[in-house]
Amino acid sequence: MEDFLVWVVWVLAAAALLSSGIAVVLFSNPFFSALALIVNLASLAVLYLILAAEFVAAAQVLVYAGAIVVMFLFVIAYLGGRADAPWAGGPTLQSVAAIVAAGAIAVEVVVVVALKAGDRLANAAEIPATFGSPSEIGRLFLGPHLLAFEVTSIVLLVAAVGGVILGTAVPRERRG
Amino acid sequence: MTGPSVAAYLVVSVLLFATGAFGVLIRRSPLIILLALEIMLNAGNLALLAFSRHAGNGDGQIFALTVMVVAAAEAVVGLGLIVAVSRQRVELDVDRLTSLRG
């Protein structure tokens, strides 16, 4: 019974994930796209919870929905969210090629999974109750993956400095 | 509480990735292209976490968190570039931003 409930939640979350992803791509108004991305991230967090990744799910909601999407919405409000109509003028060569390329990626991986998803992909490992908990993530980050942790801080610092420099207005007469 | 196997997650992940790739290829507004890039990064994250759960190894979650940080940095720099370009009174259309073309 519990397994059935997990399946129901999983199917609902996956359907919301894929349909909101398509909505992000197809809305002509960037504001609606950013709002659809929130639905996308929320349903992704549900899948993360089913995968026993509680800390990653919480970080995902905080970092993405709390910070990145808000930043997107500010920039869209600043630029005035103009609509670009991707479907104006019927199917072009570029749009057909885009559909073919995206479909090729999807078909390739689905075929590989179908061919190779034998017994090796069937049974998940037994995991302890602490799997994915903040204490376990912290032990991994400050133990075996300390270098990744430190490099991450440098990446964030460089991105912050770059954002400040890009956002600083240079007066027109001082421009070289 | 086990749920579907890793193969089902992989199929969802690749469908999401294909959606994002389609958006990057077909849209001309750089804002929507950035949103579609976030979708592609999230699809990769979903596959990482599915394999992490499948193998019972927490390293995949560390990888996913690092990808999330890189995605945040990428969004900051990308949005900064878009704002800087829009200050030059150039139309925000990736097909028309050709001043760097050799």
Domain map of chain B by residue range? 6-87
Is residue A19 a part of any domain in this protein?
Answer: yes
Task: Count up the domains in chain A and report the number.
Answer: 1
Please name which of A84, A102, A96, A67 lies closest in space to residue A32, comparing C-alpha atoms: A84
What CATH number was assigned to the domain covering residues B6-87?
1.10.287.3510
Is residue A106 a part of any domain in this protein?
Answer: no
Is residue A97 a part of any domain in this protein?
Answer: no
Phi and psi at A99, nearest 5°, equal: -65, -45
Q: How far is A23 from chain B (nearest CA, A)?
A: 10
Q: Which of B29, B41, B94 to mutate to test the interface with A (most CBs of A within 10 A)?
A: B29
Domain that holds residue A7: 1-84
C-alpha–C-alpha distance, residues A69 and B79, integer Å:
11
Query: What percent of chain B is predicted at pLDDT more than 90?
Result: 42
Residues 24-83 on B with a CB inside 8 Å of A are 25-29, 31-32, 34-36, 38-39, 42, 45-46, 49-50, 52-59, 61-62, 64-66, 68-77, 79-83
Q: Per residue in A9-66, pLDDT tens?
A: 999 999 999 999 999 998 888 889 999 999 999 999 999 999 888 899 999 999 888 8
Q: What is the ipTM of this complex?
A: 0.89
Residues A81 and A29 sit within 8 Å (Cβ to Cβ): yes
* CATH number for the domain that contains residue A7: 1.20.120.1200
Which residues, 6 or more positions from B62, have their beta carbon under 8 angstroms from its beta carbon? A137, A140, A141, A145, A148
Structure tokens at A120: 């090796």
Query: What percent of chain A is predicted at pLDDT more than 90?
Result: 35
